[in-house]
Copies of this chain bind each other. A is one copy, B any other.
Amino acid sequence: MIKARVTVTLKNGVLDPQGKAIEGALGALDFSGVASVRQGKVFDLELEGADRSKAEADLKAMCEKLLANTVIENYQVEIA
């Protein structure tokens, strides 16, 4: 069993209204000094088998096809 974490974040320059809303909410809660907030997604996957290089290739294919919108998002694959 291979455990992996995929992190999907917005590319630089892509507007992030959700992050802006969180930034505003933190200000309203008296947290000063927050210069920017950007929100992304994280996926924790468990894959059967023990072939780490196959797992990494599969995870990248999953990102390209489903987990990330590569027009506006970057992804990063980490295998534990």
Residues of chain A from 34 to 74 with CB closer than 8 A to chain B in the complex: 34-49, 58, 61-62, 65-67
CB of A22 within 8 A of chain B? Answer: yes
**Residue pair B37, A44 in contact (C-beta under 8 Å):** yes
- Counting chain B CB atoms within 10 Å of each CB, the highest count among A1, A22, A43, A65 belongs to A43
Instruction: Tell me the nearest residue of chain B to A32, going by C-beta.
Output: B48
Cα-based distance from A29 to B25 in the complex (angstroms): 39
- CB–CB B22/A66 < 8 A: yes
- Verify if A33 is at the interface (C-beta below 8 Å from B): yes
C-alpha gap A64/B46 in the complex (Å): 28
A62 with B1, Cβ < 8 A, contacts A36-B45, A42-B7, A43-B22 known: no
